[in-house]
Chain A
Amino acid sequence: MKLSSISRKLLRIASSKRRFLNSLFSLGVVLSAILVVAPLFIILVSVAIKGGRALNLDFFLSLPKAVGESGGGIAHAIVGTLFMVGTGLLFSIPIGVASGVFLATTSNKRLSAIVRTSADCLAGVPSIVTGLFVYALLVVPFKRFSGFAGAVALSIIMLPTITRTTEEVVRMVPHDLFESAIALGAKRWQAVFRVVLPTASRGILAGFIGAASRAMGETAPLMFTAFGSHFLNLNPFEPVSAIPLVIFNYAISPYEDWQQKAWAASLVLTFLVLGGIIVSRRLVYGRFG
């Protein structure tokens, strides 16, 4: 064919130059791939090594000692993080899943466009701004920092993610399953609750776990709401500590012992967050990756 003989000629004439450019390009591409992935390993390895040094059972189970004394742990922060993320989920799941179902099933195009855009915008609001918002609403009027305010801040941060993942998953449920339920005499809410949501349950669950994992790593919003504390506090209306807060405070402190602990806490936090993300991916894709 004429076309292929022309291109073969082109290839022969310019082949060395074209091949050179192609090789250069390929090199550049592979290099950038390496440069992108390298930090992941560098950071993880650093955290593992530096954090591992200070890690022991005590670290998980005991409370901080006074400044200057060695030993002690971050049990208060672990409890605080789990409490605030868990409570945050209690708020964001009912609203987020319902909004996701709304977006996937409503025929009101205008309203759904507004809601969807709002969810996207809310996802783009820097978490520190969200923290300031909750501060103004829940800390200032009561004149105290609280774990509860921290939980609310986290729930606002998790809300857009849960909404969007729920919407995507519910959309994927075949419409005729819903119709079959209606044809059997089910009301729409029964069809949604008993057929559509169970069918989509895996994806929705993955959505919460993913959102919760990311929320666990949030620091800035907690600074203005939960504030942090050196004590284990089971009262949600008092300041509460969290792992990322501990990392930040210890890292910028002048005490080497605390800096060590910051690394160890980072190891724990990274492990929890990455673990959560991996679990959520597993639920969606059925296998690792």
Chain B
Amino acid sequence: MGGLDSKMVLDENGSWSDRIMKASFTGDLEDHPKLAKGFDVKMRIERLTAGYGKRNAITDISLPIIKNRVTAIIGPSGCGKSTFLRCLNRMHEVLPEAFVSGRVTLDDVDIYGEDIDPTDLRRRVGMVFQKPNPFPTMSIRNNCLAGFLLTSKKVRYPEEVVERTLRKVGLWDEVKDMLDRPGTYLSGGQQQRLCIARALAVEPEVLLMDEPCSALDPIATARIEELIHELCSSVTIVIVTHNMQQAARVSHFTAFLYMGRLIEYGDTPTIFTRPKESLTEEYITGRFG
């Protein structure tokens, strides 16, 4: 079947066109309220292999990232989830002896192309890290604006940007009177929301989140999950998490990685209730990892 522009279509068996996907999509689309028959692919990963020195961290991964949806990457520790994520904003190559092969496209443009500037890419694909890390020498206000301050880009109405992003992450009312305090003044959960605000301030199209809640308490975690729900209508989100319940709660699509390979990809409800691969089922039911 055709249609390989920015729309991907299902064939009659309910499988993705073979040329792109290795794993097959399982599920009954008509029953699923969240999905529609054809929808936009924001990023396409094709046969991605990456690692350090001689060792592969991930091998031959292919999957789509659907626009304005949340895609969760799950798997046991060390399965390559973080490496995979870092290939999507070209952070992986910053490490010594790192290598990447394969194709990753953003809106059909190969982000590893020769004339692509990685720093520009990173404004379109933002990242939030596991441990909240506001810049200690900057105030809360400047942390929000860091994406501009650090890159010497002019921002027209800084106060407006600060208020807008802090409102988006639900921090505005809590911090509006202390914008000049250092970023590290806040609690862990607040700091992480500040980091999300910081990432959002440059208006990325994709937001990568590497286990954003693992350093937070349950209440802070719940707030961030709520935030993810609100954000995904305007930003495409890819979240790595080792917490399966979180993946089930928060995502529309899930990819299960094991030992650097993609075992299964599909819509979240199906992956968690009727997975196709036995390995997936074993992981979901907690038999390992």
Contacts and interface: CB of A to CB of B under 8 A. Distances in A.
Interface of A: 107, 174, 176-177, 179-187, 190-191, 194-195, 198-199, 201
A199 B94 CA distance: 21
Contacts of B195: 180
A184 B133 contact: no
B135 A185 contact: no
Given A180-B133, A186-B150, A190-B152, 15 more contacts: A180-B195, A182-B94, A182-B122, A184-B146, A184-B150, A185-B119, A185-B122, A185-B150, A185-B151, A186-B151, A187-B119, A190-B151, A194-B150, A198-B137, A199-B135
A199 B147 contact: no
A182 B119 CA distance: 7
A187 B129 contact: no
B172 to A, nearest CB: 21
B44 interface: no
B129 A195 contact: no
B91 A186 contact: no
Contacts of A182: 91, 94, 119, 122
B129 A184 contact: no
A179 B131 CA distance: 12
A184 B120 contact: no
Contact of A176 (B97, B129, B151): B129
B137 A199 contact: yes
A248 B174 CA distance: 64
A191 B152 CA distance: 11
A191 B147 CA distance: 11
B198 A184 contact: yes
A208 to B, nearest CB: 18
Interface string B181-197: 00000000000000100
A181 B146 contact: yes
A187 B135 contact: no
A182 B120 CA distance: 10
B202 A184 contact: yes
B136 A199 contact: yes
A184 B91 contact: no
B137 A184 contact: no
B253 to A, nearest CB: 23
A186 B91 CA distance: 12
B136 A184 contact: no
Contacts of B151: 184-187, 190
B96 A180 contact: no
20 contacts: A174-B133, A176-B133, A177-B136, A181-B135, A181-B146, A182-B122, A183-B127, A184-B146, A184-B147, A184-B150, A184-B151, A184-B199, A185-B121, A185-B122, A185-B123, A185-B147, A186-B151, A187-B119, A190-B151, A198-B137
Contacts of B120: 185
A265 to B, nearest CB: 41
B126 A184 contact: yes
B135 A195 contact: yes
Contacts of B202: 184-185
Nearest to A197: B137
A90 B147 CA distance: 32
